[in-house]
Amino acid sequence: MAEHEAIIERMRDSILEADDDEAVAAAEAALAAGMDPLAALEAGFSEPIRELGEAFNRLEIFLPQLVLSARTMQAGLKVLERALTTAAREAARKGVVVIGTVEGDIHDIGKTIVVAMLRSAGYEVHDLGTDVPLPQFINVAEQTHADIIGMSALLSTTMLRQRDLLELLQLKGIRDKYFVIVGGAPATQAWADSIGANAFARDAHEAVLCLNARARNVTSRA
């Protein structure tokens, strides 16, 4: 037991110090010691990354540390995933998110913060970057079996693309497959309602809270 606790401590430290190599080594050690990979993932990686997300929300740490730690978690997760059963993998995963800044808009930072926070909250996130053509959101969502699409727009002018993607989903008859969340400086709850989005988030913290609430609903309905 003491060995297991020491390994969890190594995993936690690797996240807090954003040490990719140590995260991989600690995850390997957890598997070699016969630990339950799902329990190791939760205590060793998910918990400290959640703590960092909360610290970021309180501005006790800043974006670079959150991004680096989220990357470290991805590195360690790859090791643990090898040992997870399909059912355990599903249990560990809250949702698959395809996210990007809509076409015509190259603003990145807000979306990057959302990506880091969602990863730190346990979501599988496919970040399409900026200036993303609408069909690409749909193509990647279909390929990755995503259940959530997130769109960011910083400009009043490009915000209209959020509406267009919802229309496109409707046109293709796949609107109900996806939970669509929108954000960005000009977006509001009224805007989200008017275009038929499932949700609006003012910031990354709200996005996590909103998707977590959705995940709980999905789980309770299952």
Alpha-carbon radius of gyration of the chain = 18
- Cβ 131 to other proteins shortest distance, Å: 9
Token duo for residue 52 = 């960092």
**Nearest distance from residue 156's CB to other proteins, in Å?**
5
Q: Which is nearer to other proteins, 65 or 198 (CB)?
A: 65
- 210 binding other proteins? (CB under 8 A): no
Q: Which span sits near other proteins by CB under 8 A: 62-70, 86-94, 141-149, 171-179?
A: 62-70
Which one, of 34, 57, 33, 53, lies nearest residue 45 by Cα?
A: 53
Regarding 57 and contact with other proteins (CB under 8 A), the answer is: yes
Does 54 help bind other proteins (rule: CB under 8 A)? no
Q: What angle do CA 184, 172, 194 make, to 5 degrees?
A: 40
Residue 157 tokens read as 């002018």
Among 74, 136, 144, 188, binds other proteins (CB under 8 A): 188
Ranges within 93-112 binding other proteins (CB under 8 A): 104, 106-109, 112
Cα separations in angstroms, 93 against 24, 27, 110: 19, 18, 23
# residues contacting other proteins (CB under 8 A): 26
Q: Which among 188, 196, 191 has a CA at the least distance from the CA of 169?
A: 196
Which is nearest to 103 in space by CA: 58, 27, 51, 164? 164
Residue ranges binding other proteins (CB under 8 A): 56-57, 59, 62-64, 67-68, 104, 106-109, 112-113, 129-130, 156-158, 160, 185-186, 188, 202-203
